[in-house]
Structure 1
């Protein structure tokens, strides 16, 4: 039985960044082990037909070749919501829009996305309020590496918060099932 394509969200992989292991107390021996584990965990969750919204800081201090190798090893199509460590080499990777009618959404600073009657607002940074927060829009962010608590229907989708694995729309809906709009 084939599975329908799914949407996932993730942030703050920091491919190529050795010091992030110590800074965020990540359970990896070194940057090569970190890269290997991030790819393994991503691919265990994400299928080839799925789409992942990367909410910034895909690679930091990685060579162009290292960033491209990590990108190519990851399942699914990928969009980038730019983070503070995403330089020109990261932005130039073959990101794809979730919407073939709007290719300009492949790399963007902020993004609004609707799926199964749920609206999402994405930015690398956490917002205190966001568009349509009073109508149930879920706000997804990264940057804080799990240090910033969720607020109402906002959520850090960074790898440090989600066992180094992208989070699905289904997981988010389960998390927010009992949280009222504008909580």
Structure 2
């Protein structure tokens, strides 16, 4: 049996037709093909016993997420779910998680933006400061920004110590956390 691996991704937005236009998902003909491709790419990458930190916005649906169990069942791996702004249907809302990976504390959150524009889905500025003071993570791994402002939110921003794991930046498949962290400048 292979050693389980750890992956990370955010913002699949399954069932969300408008995201195709908003985030330039032009390679997909329609929402059904997008859904199929993302599930397929996920399962080609992630094994049954791998762990995936999912940083929010799995399903965007008019039916308030009634299909979330169906989607989660289709995706390989053990999923640890951080709440995103489109995850209003979730009963358990884990707003962030601090993990230690190879001894390094990392803050995992849907949106790191503490300026108040997205109050429902972001941590208040004081909460971010408290987490950083107590846990001392040097890097914040987030989603939410997709591929719409790559100047400010590229895959890896070595200057601000932020990593954007929105699906568009990862070819719509989870990325192994160890590989992602090795891409940073030291």
Map of 1:154 onto structure 2: 162
> Unaligned stretches of 5+ in structure 1?
93-105
Compute the TM-score of the two structures, normalised by the length of structure 1.
0.79
Match of 2:101 among 80, 92, 115: 115
2:152 is the alignment partner of 1:166: no
Q: Which residue of 2 aligns with 1:10?
A: 9
Matches within 5 A, 1:22-171: 22-26=21-25, 27-61=27-61, 63=63, 64-88=65-89, 91-92=90-91, 107-127=93-113, 131=132, 137-146=138-147, 147=149, 148-149=153-154, 150-152=156-158, 153-171=161-179
Moved more, 54-63 or 4-13: 54-63
Distance 2:110 2:170 in 1: 16
Residue 78 of structure 1, CA deviation:
0.6
Q: Structure 1 residues 34 and 62 mapped into 2: Cα distance closer, same or farther (>3 Å)?
A: farther
| Deviations, residues 65-123 of structure 1 (Å, cap 9, x unaligned) | 533222110000111111110022xx25xxxxxxxxxxxxx751011011222221111
8 Å CA contact 1:126, 1:141 repeated in 2: yes
TM-aligned CA distance change 1:127 to 1:119, over 3 Å: farther
What is the alpha-carbon root mean square deviation over aligned residues?
2.4
Spell out, residue by residue over 1:18-46, the C-alpha distance to the aligned partner (whole angstroms, 9 max, x if none). Answer: 11011111121111111100101111111
Task: Verify the 8 A CA contact 1:35 1:70 in the aligned structure 2.
Answer: no
- Check whether the contact 1:17–1:62 (CA below 8 A) recurs between aligned residues: no
State the 1:137 CA deviation.
Answer: 3.0
* Structure 1 Cα separation of the partners of residues 61 and 3 of structure 2: 35
Matched residue SS, 1:87: coil
The number of residues matched between the two structures is 162
Cα distance in 1 for partners of 2:21, 2:164 equals 20
User: What TM-score comes out, normalization by structure 2 length?
Assistant: 0.78
Gaps of 5+ in 2: 115-127
